[in-house]
Chains A and B, each alone.
Chain A
């Protein structure tokens, strides 16, 4: 093996005991943050496109603010603030979930905003001509198309999000990376554990982005 690295210590027990839990949390965090992020991101996008100052200004400040701060700092902020706000201590995992929904909402809102703006004005006018209210128009005409157009970008963002979940290391939440780090420490093989973590992250992200590329090609043909 390469310069003193030895991967022979890996066995099924390590994986099921240390890594599986972490992997499960990373996936869970990714899914929850994606769904929550898209929901609140869409709301933020609608606020920014509403043309009403009372909505536009706070949404713009929130999105640009979140996007100009490092994610690690956002994670630390929430870990500090959430217990103060709700008045009782929260675990690193719960704090991470709230953080990622709030943080990713800013990024998803930019994607949804581009998606909504990509819908021709005529579609909105057609909805209005049919007597639809603003809410009906958005829900039945604009958002379904915007969502569909942006699906590949949303999924790409989800892959980035999965990579970003490793940053919960800063507050010690037990995710995939932490699982490998813990196993590496216990078995005295930290370097090999990092290498394995890299391989697993690569396999997941590369596989997913391959699928997104396939999906993108299919959507392009249908359109």
Chain B
């Protein structure tokens, strides 16, 4: 078998190899298409990450609220619901079922529906980590907050969350990397992201191995970048003298 990396310089609409690997005037090469697809992957994953962090933190906090069993139960139900259905099925639910059941969602662009699907799916996992982080704090921390006359909100804002979020940074790192990898399911609803590009370019060019290698490298590179960003954050926000136990993340 021989390599043929020139496939990336090929024009996607005409059968010519662009010398600069870059086509102008409305045309594009496979390289341009792939970079564009990479952008979509990062956009989907990035937006979903914001949704998952916000929703996940709120749900995680709700699961630890004192004296509100109803709220805790509802938040637990949220986590169970989004954790026990495969991401692909959740994606189909958001993309096809929700707009049919609730006509308001027919105006919402497909990109956002995918973001919701990935974001809420991941929020359940984040909520699980946030809950574990808060419960890993010594009980005395909460009591100290109460003794200071803090409201529940203040206790969380100033006492519990600053430490809990630091503790869970390692598992949050792997959940964020999982989110990036899971964004590959968006191919199933024809979002023009990397996996979709891989499948289509493979079919059009028959140079599957080269195409897959490039796409795999971009995924690995992106996941590695997420890892480094979190390592940087971890170092930046570390409190001197306070050693945080490393955690491990599972699943994918």
B173 interface contact, C-beta 8 A? no
| Distance between Cα atoms of A220 and B101 in the complex (Å) | 45
Determine whether the beta carbon of A72 is less than 8 Å from that of B85.
no
Q: What chain B residues lie within 8 Å of A65 (beta carbons)?
A: 220
| Distance between Cα atoms of A169 and B199 in the complex (Å) | 13
Select the stretch in B30-38, B59-67, B183-191 that faces chain A.
Answer: B183-191
Determine whether the beta carbon of A194 is less than 8 Å from that of B97.
yes
Determine whether the beta carbon of A202 is less than 8 Å from that of B84.
yes
Q: What chain B residues lie within 8 Å of A114 (beta carbons)?
A: 248
Most B CB within 10 A of own CB, among A5, A68, A156 = A68
- Chain A 94-122 residues near chain B, CB threshold 8 A: 107, 111, 114
- Chain B 78-108 residues near chain A, CB threshold 8 A: 80-81, 83-90, 92-93, 96-97, 100-103
Determine whether the beta carbon of B212 is less than 8 Å from that of A77.
yes
| Distance between Cα atoms of A114 and B209 in the complex (Å) | 34
**Which secondary structure dominates where chain B touches chain A?**
helix
Partner of B88, one of A80, A84, A169, A195: A169
Count of chain B residues near A, Cβ 8 A: 44
Q: What chain A residues lie within 8 Å of B102 (beta carbons)?
A: 3
- Chain B 176-204 residues near chain A, CB threshold 8 A: 177, 181-185, 187-188, 195, 198-199, 202
Q: What chain A residues lie within 8 Å of B87 (beta carbons)?
A: 163
Q: What chain A residues lie within 8 Å of B93 (beta carbons)?
A: 194-195, 198
- Known: A69-B216, A191-B97; 19 extra A-B contacts, CB below 8 A, are A3-B101, A68-B181, A68-B223, A72-B195, A73-B215, A76-B195, A76-B198, A80-B212, A111-B250, A156-B250, A160-B251, A160-B252, A166-B86, A166-B88, A191-B96, A194-B92, A198-B89, A198-B93, A201-B84
> Residues on A close to B: CB < 8 A?
2-5, 65, 67-73, 76-77, 80-81, 84, 107, 111, 114, 153, 156-157, 160, 163-164, 166-167, 169-170, 177, 190-191, 194-195, 197-198, 201-202, 205-206, 209
List 26 interface pairs A-B (beta carbons < 8 Å), by A numbering.
A3-B102, A4-B101, A68-B220, A69-B216, A70-B181, A70-B182, A70-B219, A71-B252, A72-B184, A72-B195, A73-B212, A76-B198, A80-B212, A107-B250, A107-B252, A164-B86, A167-B86, A170-B199, A177-B88, A177-B89, A194-B93, A195-B97, A201-B84, A202-B81, A205-B83, A206-B80
> Residues on B close to A: CB < 8 A?
1, 80-81, 83-90, 92-93, 96-97, 100-103, 177, 181-185, 187-188, 195, 198-199, 202, 208-209, 212, 215-216, 219-220, 223-224, 248, 250-252
